[in-house]
DNA sequence: CATGAATGAGCATTCATTCAT
DNA sequence: TATGAATGAATGCTCATTCAT
């Protein structure tokens, strides 16, 4: 039992190393050797757990995606719809210094997905899930049950706006300082909810 | 004069090679060698024009930025404000197969800007310019002169939405097919204009 | 007893895996991992039976050598001398598609023996034995008892010819198609027998 | 001019390093790094001249083949047929310590050709040429012009015998010491010539 | 008897860069 | 202006081997 959990732990440690590396130095800084050093294991060990670099990246992306979706799922389960939308929005856009890293990693994976089909497949899942969740929340906030195409559209636009703001926040922090970002996020969320209510 | 223009031409040929490479194979496929091969010159020649890979990337990004801004500037000069906003939006989001490549390149540079300060500096210019232009157009579409913070906010949200849609279009083409994309772009533009008119 | 025979079986399974690998992909394709995969055991298990790769190769070579010598020994025991020579020759040279593999493996080991002293030692045994057997058969075919140096010489030349034809058959199948090979083998055998009879 | 010859020289130096390595340590000892060290250049330089290891091996094999064929061609040009056959035979079988290395290299390449199609193609050329040359010499030694299938067959058997003796000389030097080897070569050559004269 | 974890060296290859010409 | 030669570091990956269990 100790062994099994050690192995799992080792894997997770490696995944954490990948994520940390992406956050700090970007995607191109992720090399098997760098990951090994960061996780304080030998290069061979990394490849024992992930036979290819691609597999390693995939595992890291899956982990990041899991973090996002599990958080958002919890919001949907535990909060009233409008509040859930608001919290989700603030999860996607880096409004605190802490979430900066997470978003940075997510965007790095997203960018890579544009060019890497395996990563794209993993990425798609999350995008589809987020859109569906937001559409559902918008519908419920409007006192409707899910399924109205209007909610789908509003969800897609809101999600795009949040992604765009996140992208801007990372690459143009001066144009989009946290203060401004918060206001813009709120206005986008308000618009989406309004738009679903009587669009 | 012939020599000088030859030199300019050679430089441009190299820049085109970089852009083509990014479009087709992504950022990580850009190596000095690959660029040299694509431009059909020797590896040494590439480094004659760009002493550093970084310089080469910077030049390519500047060229891409110039293409975007010159197009958008022309729209602002030649079209009535609402139409200019609409055309600009359709330039940012890849609605035709042709513009797919351009947007793909732009996003690749954007992603890189998240970890590369030099590229980020170049990138900022374009972001700031686009926001200012769109704010101005929204103001004029509302029968106002520029300067109202409302227009700035609407511009920022619109720009974020367009960026987010572009990102999604590239990475999740199935969730965001061209048809749907067009409708979402239109609704975002309409909302921005309306919002500036009587927000 | 069951356990012991299981162990023997496991060992043999590994040896078979090595031989199969050599036959299909050549000597350099033999890695501990590949062998483990082919035998469907863990990498550690391979090294339990063969503490060293070298030991593993040695066992495989011994097995191949044993196959050759046991066959040839049987021929000598069961057939009249001239027929035994003929059958032996046809065992050494790959005249059927089936024996192709065996010869291929044998040659791979032989080539390796040129630079690997351990394998060379094993290899020597078979070479010496084959020459002695063929010399004995040639002597008996000539109605003599063994021991005449002429038979030794004829045996050595015949053996060399057969080895050379085998080598050529593997590496130059177009120059030495099966049809031609059969004729050349026959003529070499005939010459050896004649030569021993009245040389 | 100095540059060009330097480059040619560098290439040749590398090829020599490969050959030396094969001779001393066998084929599997040939790594790009080892070659670089032996030729006293950087690893990168090796790959500047030979973009792949395969290309490097191919060049080395071509060089070895060229040595053999040019020597044999000279014999055929300059000597009476019977003497040319004899000298050629003594070139193929390592009768002196010096020729040991050459033959060792040749056999290593031959063995590899069994598993490597590119090398096999190069190898075939030499085999075909040698058989044709020997057939021609045997015909002329018999006072005939080339073309008789008998000479072809005798040539093929002789060549196989020489190859087999060479193989044995390398892998079983104790069974086939130089003295004995010389006698066996002579008898094989004599038989081939006799056989072509009145077979 | 057999495994899985871990290691460190080695592999071929690609890379950005320097430099003499 | 442009090239080809050369370098050395870095890449992803495979390898044989060791060892605790």
How far lies B129's CA from each of A43, A185, D142, in Å? 46, 21, 93
Q: Which residues of C touch D (CB under 8 A)?
A: 25-28, 104, 107-108, 110-116, 120, 123-124, 127-128, 131, 153, 156-157, 159-165, 167-168, 170-172, 174-176, 180, 183-184, 187-188, 191, 195
pLDDT at D1: 38
Nearest chain A Cα distance for residue B17, angstroms: 18
Would you say residue B174 has pLDDT above 70? yes
**CA B60 – C1' E10 distance (Å)?**
39
Q: Which residues of B162-198 are buried (b: 16+ CB within 10 A; e: fewer)?
A: bbbbbbbbbbbeebbeeeebeebbebbbebbbebbee
pLDDT at B8: 78
Chain D residues touching C28 at Cβ < 8 A: 28, 115
* Mean residue pLDDT across chain B: 93
DSSP code, position D18: H
Which H or E run includes C86? helix C81-92
pLDDT at B5: 61
Would you say residue B1 has pLDDT above 70? no
| Residue D36, phi-psi category: left (phi > 0), alpha (psi -120 to 50), beta (remainder) | alpha
Confidence at C5, pLDDT banded by 50, 70, 90: low
Let me know: does C154 contact C131? Beta carbons within 8 Å. Answer: no
pLDDT digits (tens, 9 = 90+) for A168-194: 999 999 999 999 999 999 999 999 999
DSSP code, position D40: T
Alpha carbons D114 and B181: distance in angstroms, whole number = 58
Nearest residue to C159 (alpha-carbon basis) of C136, C184, C186, C192: C192
Nearest chain A Cα distance for residue B77, angstroms: 24
pLDDT at B99: 86
Of B131, B170, B188, the CB nearest to A114: B170
Would you say residue B199 has pLDDT above 80? no
**CA B122 – C1' F7 distance (Å)?**
33
Of B107, B123, B184, the CB nearest to A157: B184
What does the block give as tokens for C155?
């045996």
SS3 C138: helix
Would you say residue D31 has pLDDT above 70? yes
Nearest residue to D38 (alpha-carbon basis) of D11, D14, D56: D14
Alpha carbons A116 and A118: distance in angstroms, whole number = 6
Residue range C73-96: average pLDDT?
96
**CA D6 – C1' F4 distance (Å)?**
12
Confidence at C12, pLDDT banded by 50, 70, 90: very high
Chain B residues touching A102 at Cβ < 8 A: none
Q: What proportion of chain B, given as a percentage, has pLDDT over 70?
A: 96
Residue range B102-115: average pLDDT?
90
DSSP code, position D28: G
Let me know: does D106 contact D116? Beta carbons within 8 Å. Answer: no
Number of CB atoms found within 10 A of residue D121's CB: 12
Confidence at D152, pLDDT banded by 50, 70, 90: very high
Nearest residue to C165 (alpha-carbon basis) of C190, C150, C184: C184
Residue range B91-114: average pLDDT?
90
pLDDT at C182: 98
Confidence at C2, pLDDT banded by 50, 70, 90: very low
Alpha carbons C144 and C156: distance in angstroms, whole number = 18
Number of CB atoms found within 10 A of residue A59's CB: 18
pLDDT at B2: 42
pLDDT at D5: 60
What does the block give as tokens for B180?
């749907």
Would you say residue B126 has pLDDT above 90? yes
Confidence at B26, pLDDT banded by 50, 70, 90: confident
Residue range B145-164: average pLDDT?
96
Alpha carbons A105 and B111: distance in angstroms, whole number = 11
How far lies C20's CA from each of C13, C104, C115, in Å? 10, 10, 22
Residue range D63-78: average pLDDT?
96
Q: What proportion of chain C, given as a percentage, has pLDDT over 70?
A: 96
Angle at D3 between CA D2 and CA D4, to 5 degrees: 95
The region of weakest confidence among A95-99, C123-127, C181-185 is: A95-99
Q: What is the dihedral of CA A44, A50, A56, A58, to 10 degrees?
A: 170
Residue range A89-113: average pLDDT?
91
Alpha carbons B164 and D140: distance in angstroms, whole number = 84
pLDDT at C192: 98
Alpha carbons D89 and D94: distance in angstroms, whole number = 9
Q: Where is mean pLDDT largest: A117-121, C3-7, D195-199? A: A117-121
Residue range C97-118: average pLDDT?
89
* Mean residue pLDDT across chain C: 92
Residue range D130-151: average pLDDT?
95
Place of tokens 């511009």: B155
Number of CB atoms found within 10 A of residue D173's CB: 15
Residue range B2-13: average pLDDT?
73
* Mean residue pLDDT across chain D: 93
Residue range B6-26: average pLDDT?
89
């Amino acid at each position: 039992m100790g062994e099994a959990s050690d192995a799992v732990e080792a894997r997770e440690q490696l995944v954490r190393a990948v994520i940390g590396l992406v956050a700090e130095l970007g995607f191109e800084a992720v090399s098997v050797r760098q990951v090994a050093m960061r996780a304080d294991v030998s290069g061979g060990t990394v490849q024992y757990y992930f036979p290819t670099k691609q597999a390693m990246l995939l595992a890291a992306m899956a982990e990041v995606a899991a973090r996002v979706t599990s958080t958002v799922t919890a919001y949907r389960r535990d909060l009233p719809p409008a509040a859930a939308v608001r919290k989700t929005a603030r999860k996607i856009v880096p409004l605190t210094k802490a979430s900066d890293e997470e978003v940075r990693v997510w965007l790095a994976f997203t960018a890579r997905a544009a060019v890497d089909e395996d990563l794209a497949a993993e990425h798609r899942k999350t995008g589809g899930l987020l859109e569906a969740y937001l559409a559902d929340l918008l519908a419920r906030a409007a006192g409707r049950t899910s399924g109205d195409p209007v909610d789908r559209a509003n969800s897609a636009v809101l999600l795009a706006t949040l992604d765009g703001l996140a992208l801007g926040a990372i690459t143009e922090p001066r144009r989009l300082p946290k203060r401004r970002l918060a206001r813009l996020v709120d206005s986008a969320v308000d618009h989406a909810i309004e738009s679903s209510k009587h669009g």
